[in-house]
Structure 1
């Protein structure tokens, strides 16, 4: 009978260059959080992995264990942003009627409100960041979900007789362009936010109503 080997009580050394992080947050999460924070007051052009790593409290070399360049980091931030948006939309649905008009209005208001309250994510999700979504399958899938979500609502309206049938894709794109365009005008400061949130919601819903009425 072969004698069993005793397990060494010594801990294995960490791999060379492999970073660690305290308080339960791993390095990848810390880098993403640092990137989000930098986006609040730094232009996309001025952000670099070196700056993100410094803010996260890890070495520049450590950042390359998780992201090959800043565009890969942007892709990860955008993916989280889309997930946050979908969670927000589901909560908004709980406060409205589960019919076509209710869903359509909820999506418009959620989309606008998310962009205005999560500007750092919006700049990555909808801006020209140089990220090729085709090289990031998970980001591509989650970003397409936004279109599919609106497409399903438009199709619901057609099936229920609220909207004229046909050209579903074109009507989806028209609705998206209307909602996104208004949000961008406010985001860029071309339109000023109203002080009262209720008035703001009413304004956005009026805009979405015009989009809806044009498709009847």
Structure 2
């Protein structure tokens, strides 16, 4: 009697492309990266968790496992944005030593450049998308760190005699409002960018200095 051969089951092939939850890779990081990549050419309004999941190469079920809605994803992306800005400005600080004016000007120009070259990040970082930093502790921590940078510069100016003593918080907020406000005017198209980058830098630094002049020590 002939013995029937048992058919061997076909070998499973590993999935190619982006790593998924099934092979033990951090899917959350892959989803955040996919969201960042989509921001380069997709408006915030058109981004959905399904689109992010598809771009990351994972199921939309896996996406909802990590982010309950797109605002939760945006908060994670905003955290990356603040971290990138923080690292960018830290590099500028290394060039200024204990020079108050240099640090103050560098902050204004770095802040402006970051917003203009990371427009979608800026929209997420500074509101308008439903992201509430208070409900995301890590985002709140990194966003406050960027505020403390400016606060420390204002305090340095006071200690060195460049700025009047007292009201450090109010002076910090006034400086931030000036720098952020001018950046938003350009971001929203109310003001047009100049073609010459050096001319643009000089313009931003001049505007920034007006905030400084109003706080100068008499």
TM above 0.5, one fold?
yes
Mapped contact 2:67–2:73 kept (Cα < 8 A): yes
Mapped contact 2:71–2:130 kept (Cα < 8 A): yes
Mapped contact 2:19–2:25 kept (Cα < 8 A): no
Offset, 1:194: 1.1
Q: CA separation in 1, counterparts of 2:40 and 2:119?
A: 7
**Greater displacement, 77-86 / 14-23:** 14-23
Offset, 1:193: 0.9
Q: How does 1:130-149 map to 2 (within 5 A)?
A: 130-149=130-149
Query: Alpha-carbon deviations, 1:117-148, whole Å to 9, x = none?
Result: 11121111012221221221110111111211
Mapped contact 1:19–1:62 kept (Cα < 8 A): no
CA gap 1:6/1:99 in 2 versus in 1, 3 angstroms: farther
Secondary structure of 2:23's partner?
A: coil
Q: CA separation in 2, counterparts of 1:112 and 1:179?
A: 7
Secondary structure of 2:28's partner?
A: helix
Could you tell me which runs of 5 or more consecutive residues in structure 1 were left unpaired when the two chains were aligned: none
Q: CA separation in 2, counterparts of 1:58 and 1:211?
A: 48
Secondary structure of 1:95's partner?
A: coil
Q: CA separation in 2, counterparts of 1:168 and 1:8?
A: 75
What TM-score do you get using the length of structure 1 for normalisation? 0.85
Offset, 1:45: 3.1
| Greater Rg by CA | 2
Secondary structure of 1:22's partner?
A: helix
* Residue-pair matches, total: 216
Q: CA separation in 1, counterparts of 2:86 and 2:24?
A: 26
Offset, 1:89: 0.3
Q: CA separation in 2, counterparts of 1:43 and 1:26?
A: 26
Q: CA separation in 2, counterparts of 1:51 and 1:200?
A: 37
CA gap 1:15/1:202 in 2 versus in 1, 3 angstroms: closer
Secondary structure of 2:140's partner?
A: helix
**Greater displacement, 1-10 / 147-156:** 1-10
Q: CA separation in 1, counterparts of 2:90 and 2:75?
A: 23
What TM-score do you get using the length of structure 2 for normalisation? 0.85
Offset, 1:199: 1.1
Q: CA separation in 2, counterparts of 1:10 and 1:26?
A: 28
Could you tell me which runs of 5 or more consecutive residues in structure 2 were left unpaired when the two chains were aligned: none
Mapped contact 2:82–2:143 kept (Cα < 8 A): yes
Mapped contact 1:17–1:61 kept (Cα < 8 A): no
CA gap 1:26/1:96 in 2 versus in 1, 3 angstroms: same
Offset, 1:159: 1.1
Mapped contact 1:40–1:119 kept (Cα < 8 A): no
Mapped contact 1:17–1:62 kept (Cα < 8 A): no
CA RMSD of aligned residues (A): 6.4
Q: CA separation in 2, counterparts of 1:131 and 1:28?
A: 18
